[in-house]
Amino acid sequence: MSDYELKKRIYSLFSVAALVLPATALFVLLWRQVYNYMTTFPYYFKGFVMLSFMYALLMAFFLKVADGVQTVYFHRVEPVLSMVPSVLAVNLIFYMVTCLLSTYLVPVKGFLVLTLADMVMLLILIRLFGFLRDKILGEQKLLLIYDHHLPREVERICAGWDGAYKIDRVICADEGFDKCKKAINKYGAVVLCDLPVELRDRVAEYCQEKKVATYYTPGLSDMVFQSGHGLHYFESRILKQKTKELTMAQRFTLLGYLKKVYRGSSQTLYERVRERIEKGEKDFIVTANPQTLMSALYDEELDKVIRGEDTLVVPDGYGLIVALKLAGFGDYQKIAGVEFAKLLLKMADIKSLRVFLYGASDEVIHRMQELVKKEYPHAMLVGAYNGYDNDHDEIMEKAVSAKPDIFMAALGVPAQEKLIASYFDRFDRGVFLGVGGSFDVLSGYKKRAPGIFLDLNLEWLYRICTEPSRIRKFMQSNLYFMSELKRIKSIQ
C-alpha cells in the first residue's frame, strides 16, 4: 500500500470517529435531559456508556454502509444522500428502543430536534473534512493506461472527483507490458482505461502484487455482468478495483466448477464406487470445499484436475453446500471426506479389496495400519507410507505395482490431488481419493469436532478454534467465495 493510500485510510478512520462522536454526544445529552426518566428503569453511569456505545456503533455502521464516510466525493450531493438516511435510520431505531424501554409512545419532538441538529452538524463537518482533506492529503497523482485511443472524458471525470485525483502520466498499452510495469512501479495509483478484459486483468494483477491502488473505467462486460446497479455508468464513473475480486473469466470458471459438483449422497457415491471397482473401472474423487475451488482459480494444475473428465468433485464442507444453494443450484448433501474414507475401508473389508494408504505422519500411518488390521481384517493393505519421509514418485511407482482397488492420499490440498492426477493414467482400475487430514482423525491422533458441532454444521468453526492458524486461509477463501456468489448467480 502506498503512503498516500495509508494516509487516506487513516484519514477516513479519523473522519468516521469525528462524525460519530459529536452525534453520539448530542444523543446522550438529549436522552439524559428528556427521555431517561420516562423509561421504566432510568440509567446512571454504566447505562449511559452502553447506550452511547450502541448509538456510535450503529451510526458508524449506517454511515459506512451508505458510503457516507468516503474521503472523496464525485458530487457534492453524495455525502448528503448517504448521511440523511443514516441519521434518520439510527434515530428512528433509538426512538423505537426508547418507546420499548418506557412501555408507551414517548413524545417524538426530542428525536426530531436531534435528527435536525445531527444533519446540520454532520453537513458542516463533512464540508470541513472535505476542505481539510485537500490540505492534508493533497491530490493523488495517477498513471493512466489506455488502449489505442485516449478518451479525453476520463481526465474530466478524474478532475470531477473533488479535484482529488490528477492524471500525471498517460501511457498506451501498445507500448508493451514491460513498459507499463515500469511506469506502474513509480505510482501509488493507476487508472486502467478501456483495456481489453484479459489485458486489464493482467495489469490489475500486477498492480495488486505491487499494492498499487487500481481504478478502471467499466467496460461493456462489467455493465452486462455486474448490472447497471452501482456502476452509475451514465456518469462513466471510475471504479476502484477491489483487491482479490475475481476476474470475469474466473467467475465463469467458478461457475463451471459448481456445475460439476456431485449431487448424490454418501450412499449413492458408495454404490457408484462399488460398481466401478466391480467392473474394473477407475474413479478419481476430489473432496472439495470453498478453499479447494478458490485455490484452483489460481493454480493451473489444480484447475485441470477439477475440470478433468475423470474427476468427480464431491462437496466436503458446509460452506460449499451453502454456496451452491445461494448460487441457485438447489440442495446438495455434504459428503465428508473422513466419513467416506471410513465407508471405503468398510467396503474393502466386506469385499476383501486391496488398499493403499499414503500420507500423514509416521505415527499416524502406523496407527492406520493397526486400525485396518483390527477393524477391517479382510481388507488387504498393499501399501502404507507416511507423507513426510518418502519420495512421492517412488511411492507412486510402488502404488502402480501394488494395483490397489482403493488408493487414499492424505497429503493436503492440492498436493494429494495433483499427485493422483499425474499418475492416474498409469493405473488400470480402482478408486483414487484425496482425504486431507482424515488419517489423523480416523487413527484417533486428532479429534473430530464433537457431535453438536457436526449436527449444527459448525465443524469449520471447531477446526478454526482448535487450529487458529487456519483462520487466515479460511477467511480468505470462504469470504471471497461467498461474496462472488451473487455475481455468479447473475451470469447463469
Residue 413 is a binding residue for ligand UDP (CB under 6 A): yes
Residue type, 82: S
Q: Using the rule CB under 6 A, is 319 a contact of ligand UDP?
A: no
Q: With CB under 6 A as the rule, give the number of residues binding ligand UDP.
A: 13
27, 332, 439, 474: which one binds ligand UDP (CB under 6 A): 439
Contact 385, 412 (CB under 8 A): no
Q: Does 390 bind ligand UDP (CB under 6 A)?
A: no
Distance in Å, CB of 211 to ligand UDP, minimum: 28
C-beta closer to ligand UDP: residue 69 or 297: 297
Of positions 118, 440, 459, 484, contacts ligand UDP by CB under 6 A: 440
Q: Cβ closer to ligand UDP: 72 or 396?
A: 396
CB of 389 to ligand UDP, least distance (A): 9
**Residues 278-294, buried b or exposed e (16+ Cβ, 10 A)?**
eeeebbbbbbbbbbbbb
Q: Are 446 and 440 in contact (CB under 8 A)?
A: yes
- Tell me how far apart the alpha carbons of residues 474 and 469 are, in angstroms, rounded to a whole number: 9
Half-sphere exposure of 372 (CA within 13 A, CB side): 25
Is residue 420 within the footprint of ligand UDP (CB under 6 A)?
Answer: no
Is 410 a binding residue for ligand UDP by CB under 6 A? The answer is yes
Comparing CB distances to ligand UDP, the nearer of 68 and 436 is 436
The order of strands in the sheet holding 406-410 is 311-315, 282-288, 430-434, 406-410, 354-359, 380-385
| 359 near ligand UDP, rule: CB under 6 A | yes
Query: In angstroms, what is the minimal distance from the CB of 290 to ligand UDP?
Result: 12
Grid cell listed for 100: 420499548
Q: Which is nearer to ligand UDP, 24 or 477 (by Cβ)?
A: 477
Examine residue 387 and tell whether it contacts ligand UDP (CB under 6 A).
yes
Q: Of 87-95, 431-439, 454-462, 482-490, which part binds ligand UDP (CB under 6 A)?
A: 431-439
Can you read off the three cell numbers belonging to residue 54? 450502541
CA distances from 292 to 259, 260, 413, 457 (A): 15, 14, 7, 19
Q: Considering the complex, what minimum distance in angstroms separates the CB of residue 438 from ligand UDP?
A: 7
Cβ distance 5 to 190 under 8 Å?
Answer: no
Nearer to ligand UDP, 188 or 317 (CB): 317
CB neighbour list of residue 234: distance below 8 Å, 6 or more residues apart: none
Does 388 interact with ligand UDP (rule: CB under 6 A)? Answer: yes
Cβ atoms 421, 305 nearer than 8 A: yes
| Interaction site with ligand UDP (CB under 6 A) | 359-361, 387-388, 410-413, 436-437, 439-440
